[in-house]
């Protein structure tokens, strides 16, 4: 009689205690196994692409790349990825952005362990599962007209964004576009503001998610 392989779960969470707590819960549950751990969004994407776990538990607030953008980047490179977003926040925009990014599950961190396990199994089975307490809020947000559309980029800002997304420095961008580094800095600042990004990495991820590069 063959033994069914356990579901492999990757934990992407920057808080050590929370990450260890999740690992303990999963290790104690029959049929589940922790495939790996990452402490930031960029590392989480790399590890998920390398390990190809059955399910990814993804925190929202993380350094380098937040959970929503990390989910979008992961799903872009691996469309079969099954991501559950975990957060302490139940803000409508997080729920909406998470679903739009390709997450199949959404749970608050104070959910009981039983619900976490249930969500992992349901998402692995192909279901979309949003914690009932916040599901209606997500649905309301999804049918609401786009009230916060991003300000469009100028042609020059798009050129800078393309090079920025390729990893070019301000000096390299200036040389390629035959403009000063000061002008490049101004364009990058405008780009971050228009894309509502905290840094260049996040701007590049948003650009890829929205098909700007």
124 shares a domain with 42: yes
Token readout for 75 is 């799903």
* pTM for the predicted model, two decimal places: 0.65
Q: Which domain holds residue 184?
A: 155-209
Contact 62, 14 (CB under 8 A): yes
Q: Are residues 27 and 125 in the same domain?
A: yes
Q: Which two tokens stand for residue 106?
A: 């959404």
Centre a 10 Å sphere on the Cβ of residue 148 and count the other Cβ atoms it contains: 6
According to DSSP, the residues that pair with 129 across neighbouring strands are 105
Q: What is the pLDDT at residue 179?
A: 93
Q: Considering 143, 173, 195, which residue would you say is the last residue of a domain?
A: 143
- pLDDT for 20 equals 93
Cα separation, 199 vs 206, whole angstroms: 11
Query: How far apart, in whole angstroms, are the C-alpha atoms of residue 12 and residue 32?
Result: 16
What interhelical angle do 200-209 and 181-195 show, nearest 10?
Answer: 60
Residue 75 lies in a domain: yes
pLDDT of residue 98: 75
By DSSP bridging, strand 105-108 and strand 129-130 are parallel
> What confidence score (pLDDT) does residue 194 get?
86
Provide the domain count of the chain.
2
**Spatial separation of the C-alpha atoms in residues 164 and 173, rounded to whole Å:** 8
Query: Residues 6 or more apart from 20 whose CB is under 8 A from it?
Result: none
Token duo for residue 197: 């990004």
- The DSSP call for residue 67 is H
Q: Which of 143, 169, 188 is the last residue of a domain?
A: 143
Residues 24 and 127 grouped into a single domain: yes
Domain final residue pick, 143, 167, 193: 143
CATH number of residue 173's parent domain:
1.10.10.10
Give me the residues of the chain with pLDDT under 50, please: 1-2, 141-148
């Amino acid at each position: 009689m063959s033994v069914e392989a356990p579901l492999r779960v990757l934990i992407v969470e920057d808080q050590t205690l929370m990450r260890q707590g999740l690992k303990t819960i999963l290790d104690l549950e029959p049929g589940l196994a922790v495939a790996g751990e990452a402490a930031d969004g960029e590392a989480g994407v790399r590890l998920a692409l390398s390990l190809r776990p059955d399910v990814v538990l993804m925190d929202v607030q993380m350094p380098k790349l937040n959970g929503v953008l990390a989910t979008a980047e992961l799903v872009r490179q691996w469309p079969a990825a099954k991501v559950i977003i975990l957060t302490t926040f139940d803000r409508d925009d997080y729920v909406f952005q998470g679903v739009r990014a390709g997450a199949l599950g959404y749970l608050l961190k104070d959910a009981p362990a039983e619900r976490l396990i249930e969500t992992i199994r349901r998402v692995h089975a192909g279901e979309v599962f949003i914690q009932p307490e916040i599901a209606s809020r997500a649905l309301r947000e999804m049918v609401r007209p786009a009230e916060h559309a991003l300000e469009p980029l100028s042609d020059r800002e798009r050129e800078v964004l393309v090079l920025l997304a390729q990893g070019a420095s301000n000096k390299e961008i200036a040389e390629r576009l035959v403009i000063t580094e000061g002008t490049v800095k101004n364009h990058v600042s405008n780009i971050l503001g228009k894309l509502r990004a905290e840094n260049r990495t996040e701007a590049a991820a948003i650009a890829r998610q929205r098909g700007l590069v």
